[in-house]
Chains A and B, each alone.
Chain A
Amino acid sequence: MKNASPVRGFISSFVNGPWPWLIPALGVLLLFRGYPLGNQFWLAMTDMKIASGDASFVGFENFSFLFSDPNYLTALGFTILFTSFSVFGSFVLGFGLALMLNRQMTGRVIYRMGILTTWAISSLIVGYIWRLMLNESSAGVLNGLLEPFGIGPVPWLSDPNMAQVSVIVADIWRSTGFTMIFMLGGLQTLPNEVLEAAKMDGAKGWQTLLYIVMPLLKPLIAVALIFSTIATFNVYELVLALSSGGPGNATSTVGFEMYRTAFGDSMNAGLGLIGRGAAMGVSMFLVTLMFALIYIRAGVFARDLD
């Protein structure tokens, strides 16, 4: 019988199954996500330069170069440091603020909006704001404030270690609002009676937080950490505006290094190496993917909560 042929069977099960319905969405995803991603992987294996636009296949040469590129390795080291401190700092601060703002207090809405604003501002603008504040002459707000006490001028951005701290603090300032609003949303979904039951059971504030609130918010905490890790790991606008990776390359992140390598900058006219930049981009993609997988395993999809 004709109808029983395997090809026919496959076609009819395809047509009657879910796939035809998914084609529009998958098409859009492939066009706008899949193609750029694939293209980047391709570029990463070529020696394309921004000046010529010619590209020839070089295999994994760009990747093996990264492992010996001091600029890349320095940037990678700082990015890991930067991401760890910034994610941790903004989580602790954001969660703390969320706990505070979860109570009945006057002006709650105003505080909430004010703190969220930091996240709504473009990273580039945040970088410029902080650069102004950290201006090392007494015109800078911070040094201006410290001057009467006989402190300073503090080399906020010209000392390598200080510059690293400054960039991290600025990023914590930028991302705290997001964590706060995210965790506040979570706190407000917690059933009040469960918290009261803990109170009747004799739990102090910190015990309720540790044994009840945190475990119940575990999935949400994981999501907040994933989002902020990914956003922080890929940062480059903030660095560009605040420190341009300097002094030297003390505050250069992988994202910034990728930008500088691929598109060049005024101080490194010799760069503009699209292929090598793409390889850095791929390395960022892999690290981001790894973080996502770790956090997902850690509890995003925990289903034991009712």
Chain B
Amino acid sequence: MSDLKITGLTKSFDKLEVIPPLDLYVPDGSFTVLVGPSGCGKSTLLRMIAGLEVPSSGRLELSGKDITQAEPADREIAMVFQSYALYPHMSVERNIEFGLKLARVDIEERKRRISEAARMLQLEQLLERKPAALSGGQRQRVAIGRAIVRDPKVFLFDEPLSNLDAALRAKMRVELAELHARLGTTMIYVTHDQTEAMTLADQIVIMNKGKIEQMGSPIEAYDRPATRFVAEFLGAPRMNVSEQEKAKSSGAFALGLRPEDIGIVQNQTQNSWQGRVRLVERLGAETIIYTDTDGFGDLVVRAKSDVQVSPNDVVHILPDLSKAHRFGEDGNRIDP
């Protein structure tokens, strides 16, 4: 069992409280993604789990053992950094070997683990190279290799894909998912990219201003956002949220509608709204229509690619109100 239990963890820098008391449970073998805008405290939380940052108070337990005060290397936790943080003067092999050497693992065992990791990560041809001679994706794999050989109970990833270009990012995302499936090790992953969060996580933790807004399965968070913040954070284009007349008439402070839950119709009906088209983005597979809708305001609609609209057209908009999200003035979800 390598589950991580965080209770009452806080972090303050001088008088600034970055993380108010926070509880989080990461089950054994889970792929937990911490996601939120920059400055939300997700990296600080990860660094406290790693032991690189000392918590101001609270408790960290790994497999039931208190590790709050343990040295980073004694936690059985490995970390992959955003910049990969490879040792530039060492070859790939020595980079991977460094931690094992320090842990006084004997040479035969070191060799065995390095070659196993190299095979798994397709690094066999690159072992003699210096990091400077590697591509971004290869460096990323070396960083992962360095983490794997130590056979940790938990892997931490700090925005590991943010330095890669879009195509490579998608590829590495798949590789990471496969790696998790193969190793079955608990992974905690920090990102500000909601696509990574949605696709990789089995548990998503959405953070804002140091607090956890919601945690659970990604689909649950998407379908039933607990707060207005989560609603607007997950999804692209993001959810339309309005505090205007349509919200009032639905009995909420704010009304949220996902772009895909709205249709454009030919004829006015009893339930249709009227709006003026501001901009049309044709993406090929779909078309995004930006409108200004009476009683709602800015409203983005995700429509089929062949929809016939142009800017300044007046259109009839039919929202699927059964899928609408209602929020109170405190930002919390109101359930019907």
Contact = CB atoms under 8 A, between A and B. Distances in A.
Interface of A: 191, 193-194, 196-203, 207, 211-212, 215-216, 218, 304-306
Max chain B C-beta neighbours (<10 A), residue from A197, A199, A215: A197
Contacts of A216: 88-89
A197 B79 contact: yes
A217 to B, nearest CB: 10
B87 interface: yes
B89 A304 contact: yes
B81 A201 contact: no
B181 interface: no
Interface stretch (B98-106, B203-211, B281-289): B98-106
A193 B73 contact: no
Contact of A201 (B83, B102, B131, B132): B102
Given A193-B81, A304-B132, A306-B130, A199 B89 contact: no
B197 interface: no
A interface: dominant SS? helix
B85 A196 contact: yes
Contact of B73 (A194, A200, A211, A218): A200
Interface string B44-80: 0000001110000000000000000001111001110
B274 interface: no
Nearest to B100: A201
Contact of A207 (B77, B87, B102, B132): B102
Nearest to B77: A200
B79 A200 contact: yes
A194 B87 contact: yes
A304 B81 contact: no
A195 to B, nearest CB: 8
The 10 closest A-B pairs by CB, nearest first: A202-B73, A201-B99, A306-B132, A193-B85, A197-B85, A202-B102, A193-B81, A215-B89, A306-B88, A194-B85
A258 to B, nearest CB: 41
A218 B90 CA distance: 13
Contact of A200 (B78, B88, B131): B78
A199 B81 contact: no
Given A191-B83, A194-B87, A216-B88, A202 B99 contact: yes
B82 interface: yes
B102 A196 contact: no
B11 interface: no
Contacts of B130: 304, 306
B89 A200 contact: no
A305 B131 CA distance: 9
Given A216-B88, A306-B88, A203 B78 contact: no
Nearest to A199: B72
Contacts of B74: 202
Contacts of A191: 83, 85
11 contacts: A194-B86, A197-B79, A197-B81, A197-B146, A199-B72, A199-B73, A200-B51, A200-B77, A202-B71, A216-B89, A218-B89
Nearest to A207: B102
Contact of B87 (A199, A202, A212, A218): A212
Given A191-B83, A197-B79, A199-B73, A305 B88 contact: yes
Interface string B121-151: 0000000001110000000000000100010
A193 B43 CA distance: 13
Nearest to B103: A202
A197 B132 CA distance: 17
B81 to A, nearest CB: 5
Contacts of A202: 71-74, 99, 102-103
Contacts of A198: 87, 98
A201 B88 contact: no
A306 B88 CA distance: 6
User: Which of A198, A202, A211, A215 has the most chain B CB atoms closer than 10 A to its own CB?
Assistant: A202
Contact of B102 (A193, A203, A218): A203
Nearest to A216: B89
Contacts of B81: 193, 196-197
Nearest to A204: B102
A201 to B, nearest CB: 4
Given A201-B73, A201-B146, A202-B73, A305 B89 contact: yes
A304 B131 CA distance: 10
A199 B87 CA distance: 12
A95 B31 CA distance: 44
Contacts of A199: 52, 72-73
Contacts of B86: 194, 197
Contacts of A215: 89
Given A193-B81, A199-B73, 19 more contacts: A193-B83, A193-B85, A194-B86, A194-B88, A196-B52, A197-B81, A197-B86, A197-B146, A198-B87, A198-B98, A200-B51, A200-B78, A202-B102, A203-B73, A207-B102, A212-B87, A216-B88, A306-B88, A306-B132
Contacts of B77: 200
A194 B131 CA distance: 12
B155 to A, nearest CB: 11
Given A193-B83, A196-B81, A306 B103 contact: no
Of B50, B89, B146, most A-chain CB atoms within 10 Å: B89
B97 to A, nearest CB: 10
A198 B50 CA distance: 12
A203 B85 CA distance: 14
